[in-house]
Amino acid sequence: MMHAVYALIQIIVIILAAPLVNGIIRKVKALTQKRKGAPLLQMYFDLFKLLKKSVVVSDVASWIFRAAPYIAIASAVAASLFVPVTAWPESQGYAGDMILFVSVLALGRFFMMLAALDTASTFGGMGSSREAMISALIEPSLLVTLFTVGLIAKSTSIFQIMHFTAGVGIPLLHPVYILGFAALCMIIIAETSRIPVDDPSTHLELTMVHEAMILEYSGRDLALMELSASIRQLVFITLLVNIYVPHDQMIALYGLSGFAAIAVSLLVYLIEVILVSILIAVIEVHTVKLRLFSIPNLAALAFIVSFLGFIQYFVLGR
């Protein structure tokens, strides 16, 4: 019973916080460009508006196109269960395997790419084929990074990894964690369609990847697609935060327990998410979008960094 309650808290926090991350990123970008920018809560208004609108569907589209938004949101929400946002009282109760995590996210991507091909639109095919390249290139570094931190913690469960790092002091001072952090930052940028890999705010066929895939969507379907993309983004940010700056640590530090522990860790988590969002916004401001065929270089860099992290810890010794 407790599990279900915690899972529900987890889901609600992630769904409610996800659009806020987009808001923060947009706001920071606007401020650096000396604009006022849209309000922080703009995406909530957009989603609410979209839900009330009617849906325009291509006459070529099949049931895949209509089912994809729901499957995408299911995959994103299910993935959010793997990255704890608050402290869990019972340490053994939470099993979030990282390979399963990757596979759950793959389900959403699978259907999004299929839906893009479903409408016979050239844009959809283009986005889908580019996404295929990016995912194939970035997946190895993701798995190697996760394996490295998992091997240190001797578990493939993200929760166990987080628990382990909580006990070792400040992990970011250790070289293996620094390399992993750098790799994971690059991976997050690629996985969440951010500059320099993709530009979420453009509709120019030369550059768009994610936007091209969801170009045909409208109304509530679009709302679901946008929401699931932002949940994906928050899930990846949470993954980064959990592994490298676990909020569990704070509880251990002050010896909190029970309700206070949950509240404090949730608060710490939210602050960390805001900081990472600002970091992503700063990266977006300071880089330009890469040419499509320069993305393999970025992916190679991410892979080398993650691989070096592994070598550093397991071959050269700790």
Partner 1 sequence: MKKYGKYSGMESSREGESLLEAFHNSGGPGTLFWVSIILYAAAAVFSLALMKNPKVCTLVSNGLCILASLFGIATSIINIAIEKIHTDLYVFQSAIPYLSVDIRLDRLSSFFLLCLSVLVLCVSIYAIGYVSHYFGKRNVGVLHFLYTAFILSMIFVMTSGNAVFFFVAWEAMALLSYFLVIYESEKEENVNAGRLYIIMTHIGTAFLLIAFMIMFSYTHSFDMFGSSAAIPAFAKNIMFVLFLLGFGTKAGVVPVHIWLPYAHPAAPSHVSALMSGIMIKTAVYGLLRFVFSYLGVQNTWWGVAILVLGIVSALMGVAYAFVEKNIKRLLAYSSIENIGIIFIGLGIAFIAKAQGNSIVCGLALAASLFHCLNHTLFKGSLFLGAGSVHFASGTKNMEELGGLIKRMPVTAVLFLCGALSISAIVPFNGFISEWLTYQSLFSNILPGHALINILTILSVAVLAMAGALAAASFIKLFGISFLGLPRSERASNAVEVPGVMNVGMGILVTLCLAVGLFPMAVLQMLDRVLTGFAGISILPQLKNGWLTAFSPLSISGNAVSPAVIAGVFAGVILAALVLIRIIGGKRNERKVGTWDCGFESLNARTQYSATGFSKPVKIALKILFRPSRVVKTEGDLVYHPESIQYLVGIEPIFERYLYDPISRLARSISHKIKYSVQTGSIHAYLIYILLTVLILMFYNRIA
Residues in region 163-202 near partner 1 by CB under 8 A = none
Letter for the amino acid at 13? V
Stretch that binds partner 1, among 119-127, 238-246, 251-259, 276-284 (CB under 8 A): 119-127
Would you count residue 307 as binding partner 1 (CB under 8 A)? yes
Question: Helices in 89-218 by DSSP H: which ranges?
Answer: 98-118, 122-153, 158-166, 175-191, 210-213
The residue among 229, 238, 227, 257 whose CA lies nearest residue 85 is 238
Residues in region 9-48 near partner 1 by CB under 8 A = 48
The correct pick among 2, 16, 60, 271 for binding partner 1 (CB under 8 A) is 60
Would you count residue 90 as binding partner 1 (CB under 8 A)? no
Q: Could you identify the residue written with the tokens 């390399």?
A: 179
Stretch that binds partner 1, among 27-35, 131-139, 169-177, 187-195 (CB under 8 A): 131-139
H or E element that contains 73: helix 63-80
Residue 272 CB-half CA count within 13 A: 25
Q: Give the 3-state secondary structure of 2-17.
A: HHHHHHHHHHHHHHHH
Residues in region 151-170 near partner 1 by CB under 8 A = 151, 154-157, 159-160
The residue among 78, 303, 84 whose CA lies nearest residue 190 is 303
Q: How far is the CB of 236 from partner 1 (least distance, A)?
A: 16
Would you count residue 204 as binding partner 1 (CB under 8 A)? no
For every residue of 212-252, DSSP letters joined together read: HHTTT--HHHHHHHHHHHHHHHHHHHHHHHHHHS-THHHHH
Residues in region 92-111 near partner 1 by CB under 8 A = 92, 94-95, 97, 99-100, 102-104, 106-107, 109-110
The correct pick among 113, 195, 239, 264 for binding partner 1 (CB under 8 A) is 113
Neighbours of 63 (CB within 10 A): 8
The correct pick among 25, 114, 213, 214 for binding partner 1 (CB under 8 A) is 114
Tokens, residue 20: 């806020």
Would you count residue 52 as binding partner 1 (CB under 8 A)? yes
Q: How far is the CB of 24 from partner 1 (least distance, A)?
A: 24
The correct pick among 9, 30, 74, 266 for binding partner 1 (CB under 8 A) is 74
Would you count residue 81 as binding partner 1 (CB under 8 A)? yes
Would you count residue 311 as binding partner 1 (CB under 8 A)? yes
